[in-house]
Amino acid sequence: MNNTPPFNLTEEMLNLVAGISEMLGGIKNINDLNRLPRLRKIGRMRSIQSSLAIENNSLSFEQVSDIINGKRVIGPQNEIQEVKNAFAAYQELENVDPHDIKDLLKTHGMMTSGLIDESGKFRTVNEGIYDSNGKAVHIAPPPNMVPKLMDDLFSWLKSSKVHPLIRSSVFHYEFEFIHPFRDGNGRIGRLWQTAILMNWKPVFAWIPVESVIRERQQEYYDSISGSTAAGNSDAFIEFMLSAISESVRQITEDARSHLDHINTRVRELMAVMEFYPLSAAELMERLGLRSRDGFRNNYLRPAIEAGLVSLTEPDRPTSGNQRYFKR
């Protein structure tokens, strides 16, 4: 691979980029993700569960959620460790420089900690990509070529003026083509595309593109093999752009649905709440309410379920010392 990865801008790519940009720029609900911490958390867990499932991790969304929330889960220990590692890696995304190869190695170390010997290091053996049926999709370049290929790829990523949606997809394909690590290439490739997109639009931290890839997993592998056969990443770019487009559409619908549940009374509650704790009695006084049941059922509970309000004693929700504050 030379310093400019081979790809051709197609009409399909340009149409998809325009559509994604329009959705991101024209739908207010995307910005409302800042007010929907529960939806953001669900998006993060979907990203992790889906990306691991692509690599044959058998844990369900519920199990992944429990692990992330610190609950005990019965399952293969290596798969549980994969979830913990992935969560730590995704949590660090905001601190990652997607143009820094040292950050890539550090992130791989987090993603594969306790799972492989060559964690955080480029591979020293031959590797390849295999689909869900075990069929070889691509045989990677020999290990002695990996450092130079990765330097070239990051050099291109830093200097390229190509639209971030396309640039991130090109990087993702070339990364998988090089397959620089002994294990974890798929997980890191998908995560690093998210890191590049976050550098463009921070909202991508919460958009689970991985879940659409999981739903269309065979297409994902077919686009890799098709691009490899063609000698350019066109097929892969078009697949990824379509997956991103679908993910953005889904998140905007989810945001709209969540916001519909935040009724007028919840908005009234949020207007009188603070970032420091207040008791139920203090909140009721601010709202001019007398019925404690009405307050809890129509104001407080919906706000908590929407992820807008936190409890000072979350493990004892009915505690007499309970206080509430804005998240």
- Tell me the per-residue pLDDT of 304-322, one tens digit each, with 9 for 90 and over: 877 889 999 988 888 889 9
| Confidence band, pLDDT 50/70/90 cuts, at residue 263 | low
Work out the angle at residue 104's Cα, subtended by the Cα atoms of residues 110 and 131, and round it to the nearest 5 degrees. 80
Count Cβ atoms below 10 Å from residue 4 Cβ, excluding itself. 13
- Domain limits, CATH 1.10.10, in the chain: 264-326
Question: Distances in Å between the alpha carbon of 191 and those of 21, 86, 123, 200, 301?
Answer: 20, 9, 19, 15, 35
Helices first, then strands: H and E counts in the chain: 16, 4
List all residues 6 or more positions away from 117 whose beta carbon is below 8 Å from its beta carbon: 182
pTM: 0.78
- Domain limits, CATH 1.10.3290.10, in the chain: 11-259
Residue with tokens 């709440």: 273
Which neighbouring-strand residues pair with 128? 139
Amino acid 32: pLDDT? 57
Amino acid 260: pLDDT? 66
Q: Is 324 helix (H, G, I), strand (E, B) or coil?
A: strand
CATH number, span 264-326: 1.10.10
Work out the angle at residue 219's Cα, subtended by the Cα atoms of residues 175 and 214, and round it to the nearest 5 degrees. 80
| Class level of CATH domain 11-259 | mainly alpha
Digit-coded pLDDT (tens) for 102-119: 999 999 999 999 999 899
Amino acid 41: pLDDT? 83
**262 pLDDT above the threshold of 80:** no
Q: What is the C-alpha R_g of the chain?
A: 22
